[in-house]
């Protein structure tokens, strides 16, 4: 958990992408299936619900764990695919940056 927290705190998305290589939690087929249910299987419905609420004119705040943020089935990728603009911003600063930070999601 410490490695996971450090990777997120430092915005090390490349390390988060490699989570299965170092977590020692996805060694068996059962482990991998459990993680797929916890992450990828939930990301699609969450992204869909987020988009639906936004389409209804609601302001939406979405909070997910670090592992929901990476890869082609991660929340940023799924929201981009639904037409949202996703960019990183510094917490509390409100300005876009190139480095690690918190994603900001907007739809034109």
What pLDDT, in 10s, does the model give residues 23-63? Answer: 888 899 999 999 889 888 999 999 999 999 999 999 888 88
pTM of the entire predicted model: 0.72
pLDDT at 101 over 50: no
Residue 93's pLDDT is 53
- Would you say the C-alpha torsion 13, 102, 98, 85 has a positive or negative sign? positive
Q: In this predicted model, what pLDDT tens digit does every residue of 56-82 receive, in sequence order?
A: 999 888 888 888 888 889 999 999 999
Distance between CA atoms of 26 and 32, rounded to whole angstroms? Answer: 5
| Burial annotation 58-85 (CB, 10 A radius, 16+ → b, else e) | eeeeeeeebbbbbbebbbbebbeeeebe
Q: Looking at per-residue confidence, does 6 or 88 come out higher? A: 6
């Amino acid at each position: 958990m410490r490695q996971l927290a450090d990777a997120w705190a430092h915005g090390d998305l490349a390390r988060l992408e490699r989570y299965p290589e170092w977590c020692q939690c996805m060694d068996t087929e059962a482990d991998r299936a459990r993680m797929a249910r916890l992450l990828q299987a939930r990301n699609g419905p969450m992204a869909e619900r987020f988009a639906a609420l936004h389409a209804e004119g609601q302001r939406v705040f979405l909070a997910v764990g670090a592992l929901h943020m990476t890869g082609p089935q991660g929340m940023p990728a799924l929201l981009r695919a639904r037409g949202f603009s996703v960019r990183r911003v510094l917490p509390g600063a409100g300005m876009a940056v190139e480095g690690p930070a918190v994603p900001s999601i907007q739809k034109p």
